[in-house]
Amino acid sequence: MAQISGMRFALTGAILIAISFGLARFAFGLFIPQIRDELGISANIIGAIAALPFISFVFVSLVAPWITKYFGARNTTVLSAVFGAFGLALISQAAGPISLSLGVLACGICTGLMMPALTSAMQALVDRAIHGRVSSVMNAGTSIGVAFSVPAVLFFVEAWRYAYLSFTLFAIFGVMLAWYLIPSVSKLTPLDAAPAPKITGQQWWRLLRLCLFAFAMGFIASAYWTFGPDLVTTLGSLSSKQSGWLWLAVGIAGLGGAIISDLADRNNPAITHALMLMMLATSLTLLAASPNQIYLAVFSALVFGLAYMSLTGLYLMTGIRLLPGRLSIGPVLPFVACALGQAAGAPVIGLLVSDFGYVLMAN
């Protein structure tokens, strides 16, 4: 099968990731203050609801390689985008916790299918030597989607339903984009292709350690993704419009994650990993210390965006390199571990906020 330009594929994948991960999954945290007020949902309930897309993401990710193998990369990508459009539409019409939960669950299914489908197509169409770079660029698409959600907050202040309707239209565009631009390939390799080497015990051990780091990072990052805007509006008394600048900063800075593959190669992956973890901790500290200072809050979002997108890109790249030729395992398991961490972190932090409030937690 002929290979195509890695950059062309990376840009197409980045747009689809922007819609699925950026709009369908991570934009939710930006609208939590408005959704809580209109639907009358407590912090612990909204924390549990925020965990649902991560849970559905985990379960779907585990079976996505087989779904992709059966339906092919294009059809699976289209199916993912359809779930995203359905979930976003359902959220826009949510009347209470149940319909809201169903909407975010559908969005989680969308994200669980998207990355395995794209990596399947990448394996068949893109030169293996640049898989890490292409994956980092696609992963940075999340930042594009997160940043793109900000104009919706600015134009639809206190009108989150209209914002989600606009997201639905973009998801429908994603369906058409996937159909026309993703080639119809499956994970099936040619009969004369060499089989992937057997996974050694050392490789499994390294992958386990990578997944533990990803789980811990996801747990910690869930505090920012789920309750960052709610913190600055509740404790810092900033407006919903001002809180939108946090997500714009996260999105812009997160684009730096596109170069994490090259950065790690030049400066040692372990050192890069440690630096990004320090930046992640710094971003949370800054936000908790000064939620009423818009400039410090935005700066914390810049730091968080760069750290989070770089870390997920680093885990993705490392998983690919740990298990070359096994894209259904290497990059998928760290992503699943990160989602598990976020699924565990969101309800725990929501319970703490409900029981103790933001003031005690920030102190």
Q: Which two tokens stand for residue 9?
A: 């594929």
What angle, 0 to 180 degrees and rounded to 10, lies between the N-to-C axes of helices 240-254 and 28-39? Answer: 160
Query: What is the pLDDT, as a whole number, of residue 93?
Result: 93
pLDDT at 293 over 50: yes
Could you tell me if 358 and 48 are in contact, meaning their C-beta atoms sit under 8 angstroms apart? Answer: no
Contacts 24+ apart (CB under 8 A), 324-330: 324/128, 324/196, 325/128, 325/196, 325/197, 326/196, 326/199, 327/119, 327/120, 327/122, 327/123, 327/131, 328/65, 328/116, 328/119, 328/120, 328/187, 329/199, 329/207, 330/207
Query: What is the pLDDT, as a whole number, of residue 195?
Result: 59
pLDDT at 34 over 60: yes
Q: Measured between alpha carbons, how far apart are the two ends of the chain, in Å?
A: 58
Nearest to 261 by CA among 125, 134, 122: 134
CA angle, 242 as apex, 239 and 247 as ends, to 5°?
125
Q: CA-CA-CA-CA torsion for 9, 15, 17, 20, nearest 10 degrees?
A: -140
Residue the block writes with tokens 């997108």? 309
Query: What is the pLDDT, as a whole number, of residue 66?
Result: 85
Contacts 24+ apart (CB under 8 A), 98-105: 100/35, 100/39, 100/41, 100/49, 101/49, 101/52, 104/28, 104/49, 104/50, 104/52, 104/53, 105/52, 105/53, 105/56
| CATH of range 6-188+200-362; options 1.20.1250.20, 3.40.50.360, 3.20.20.70, 1.10.4080.10 | 1.20.1250.20
**How does pLDDT run across 56-107, given as a tens digit for each residue?**
988 898 888 888 888 888 899 999 999 999 999 999 999 999 999 999 999 9
Q: Which two tokens stand for residue 345?
A: 């972190």
Nearest to 79 by CA among 89, 93, 64: 64
What does the pLDDT average to over 285-314?
87
Whole-number Å distance between alpha carbons of 146 and 236: 22
Residue the block writes with tokens 């949370």? 284
Nearest to 251 by CA among 130, 142, 133: 142
pLDDT at 126 over 80: no
pLDDT at 359 over 60: no
Whole-number Å distance between alpha carbons of 219 and 140: 20
pLDDT at 355 over 80: no
